[in-house]
Amino acid sequence: MRKEDPSLFTRTESFRVYLSRYPAVSALCFIHLVLFLLLLVPAQPLMFLFASLDGYNLGIAEGEWWRLITPIFLHANFSHLFFNTVSLIIFAPPLEVSLKKGKFLLLYVLCGVTANAATFFIEPLEYSHIGASGAIFGLFGVFLYMAFFRKEAISKANSQLVIIILAVGFLTSFLYSQINIAAHVFGFLAGMALAPLFLRRR
């Protein structure tokens, strides 16, 4: 990512080029879509399986630790899937290029797990949630860290765009009761905290 680049979040690649250039982001989007389509299948075994994968706090308290990870890849409805996946498609590629796919995926999952762990400690045991937004807010946390502490890695225009998107995202989080605010806040904080460990100095 270069300071002179004015279009960090502009995606102009063809579909084929996008897949080859950003394999980790593409894989995440593919997983989102496949799991969402499977959720639409009215089959009892599948419904039972997905019921064991959401972020059900009581299940986590009883030792079902995988519920801290699996909710990152599930979505409740089409609009939920659409907004999270489009956010990934637009905003995640610069980080995959900068970090390389392995470190990018690790960062993404760590932010999502931190968001889900915070939800477990803050929300009541009967609380249940799914969605990638905690991990996605973690990516914005990395971008905001760059905007303040790695200014050579991101242009002023892109820094301002990140701040605007974050402000809108947090405002939206507090306006709608069904949104998991804890996941958004702590996913973002995880991204800010992990950024210096993952970003390379140039």
- 184 belongs to the catalytic site: yes
Start-to-end CA distance of the chain, whole Å, equals: 10
DSSP 71: G
Beta-carbon count within 10 A of 133 CB: 24
Measured CA to CA in angstroms, residue 70 lies from 17, 31, 112, 113, 198 at distances of 29, 11, 9, 9, 23
Q: Crossing angle for the helix pair 23-39 and 78-91, nearest 10 degrees?
A: 180
What are the tokens at 7? 């279009």
- 52 belongs to the catalytic site: no
The one catalytic residue among 32, 75, 80, 184: 184
The one catalytic residue among 87, 98, 133, 173: 133
From the DSSP assignment, how many helices (H) and strands (E) are in the chain?
A: 10, 0
Burial of residue 160 (CB within 10 Å: 0-12, 13-18, 19+) is exposed
Distance separating alpha carbons of residues 93 and 91, to the nearest angstrom: 6
Catalytic machinery residues = 133, 184
